[in-house]
Each structure stands twice: as structure tokens, then as C-alpha cells.
Amino acid sequence: MDDYLSPAAFESAEGTGDWRVVGDGACACFRTSSFAEAARFVDAIARLPAAESHRPDIDIRPGGVTVRLVTANASHFGMSERDVVLARAISEAAAALGLAGDPSGVQSVLVIPGGPSVPALMPFWQAALGYERRADSPEEDLVDPANRGPAFWFEAMQQPRGDGGGAVHIAVWVPSELAEARVDAALAAGGRLVRADFAPAWWTLADAAGNEVDIATIRMRS
């Protein structure tokens, strides 16, 4: 049985300083100078005993390796003690290779379709995307079974927009300490603040045409 943790409890646990919990798990970005160095790091992760039974998602890009940890089952999608254990081991492996974590490289994107009836929307998006329903919240969340694309969360809208009665906006999850700077940058780039009554959990911004984005963090979340 997993010992489940809140996002804040994970981030405050000893040895998790490289990691930030965003919308779809705990992520850490480790900067690398070459593809070969990134490959050596991934090989070191693969050799960790804890990684075989609780496999992380790993993304190699120019300039760094991003690792995601999450405990996902029919009753829970989030953090657990086993994620803490593996996070510590991965950070130790990175340090042994001289790699440093960079929280500014961490974020995740959530797509949020909305409409008067969520059950009427989800089958279309599930078929179009080839996604599956998330095990712990099958009535409102779709996820990519290959962990490639952003998650979709479906919002019931009491006041539909436009003739079709629907709308899509996105949420960008960022480390808590970077959120206000991201909001300020978006406002300076021509955005406007739609709502901040849920800040610092999220701020809703809109562009000049009214398209909306939430800048979201784990703060104030259980």
C-alpha cells in the first residue's frame, strides 16, 4: 500500500529540493551539456533499484533531462512516499554526475474543454485524441496512455459562451516560486487579468482576443 502525500508534503520532504510538483506529478529538470551526458544520466536512473518497480517518465531535450514521478492507480493520482524515495535517488545520481536541478525548466500544460454537459463532451475528445480515462477520475479527466500529450480536464460551464455553448482554455502549471513572475510577464506582453480570487492557486489571464490561460501552482491545494 502506498503512503500518499500532499504536493506540499512531497516538496517539503528531505532530499526533494530539485523537484517541483505541477499538475501531473513531481518533475525535475537536470541541465546537461550533451546528448551523451544526458544518456549517461538516464542510464544511471535505469540502474536504480527503485526505478524498476516504479518507473519514471523521462524526456531528453537539448540542454537537459526532465524526469516526472507520479503514483497513479484507481484511487489516487499524485504523490506518495515511493516517489520521495525515488526522487532522492535520482537527485543523488545526478549529483554524482555533476548535474544540477533547474526548477525554471519545469512546467506542465493542461487543456480544459468546457460545456454545459461534460458527459456529452468526453467521448468525442477521447476518440479524437486516442486518450483513455484517468483511473481515479474517469468522469472528468482524459490522459495520453503513452504519456506524450497534455492531460485534458473537462469543466461544466453554468454560463456557456457563444452559440455553441462551449469553450477551451489551458492551464500552465509552474513551480510556485515562479508563478507571479510568469503572470507579470504575460500581463506585460499584452494580457489582462480575468480573475485572481483563487491566487496563488491560480490566476486566470486572457489575451487580446479573450482566449484564457490559468497560471497554476500547487499552493493552497490539499
135 and 211 assigned to the same domain: yes
47 and 72 assigned to the same domain: yes
Q: Which of 70, 105, 140 is the last residue of a domain?
A: 105
77 and 147 assigned to the same domain: no
State residue 163's pLDDT score: 47
Residues of the domain holding 78: 4-105
Q: How many structural domains comprise the chain? A: 2
Residue 132 resides in a domain: yes
140 and 71 assigned to the same domain: no
35 and 91 assigned to the same domain: yes
State residue 207's pLDDT score: 86
Q: CATH number of the domain that 18 lies in?
A: 3.30.1360.20
Residue 221 resides in a domain: no
**Residues 58, 82: Cα–Cα separation, whole Å:** 17
State residue 8's pLDDT score: 94
85 and 179 assigned to the same domain: no
State residue 50's pLDDT score: 94
State residue 166's pLDDT score: 64
135 and 156 assigned to the same domain: yes
**Residues 34, 38: Cα–Cα separation, whole Å:** 6
Query: In this structure, are strands 71-72 and 77-80 parallel, antiparallel, or unpaired?
Result: antiparallel
123 and 208 assigned to the same domain: yes
96 and 120 assigned to the same domain: no
CA-to-CA dists, residue 43 to 32, 58, 93, 141, angstroms: 14, 11, 10, 33
119 and 194 assigned to the same domain: yes
Global confidence as pTM: 0.89
Average pLDDT along the chain, 222 residues, taken 10 residues at a time = 88 97 96 98 97 96 97 94 98 98 96 90 93 96 94 84 67 96 95 95 89 91 72
Residue 222 resides in a domain: no
Q: Which of 90, 105, 120 is the last residue of a domain?
A: 105
DSSP run (H or E) holding 5: strand 4-5
Q: CATH number of the domain that 212 lies in?
A: 3.10.180.10
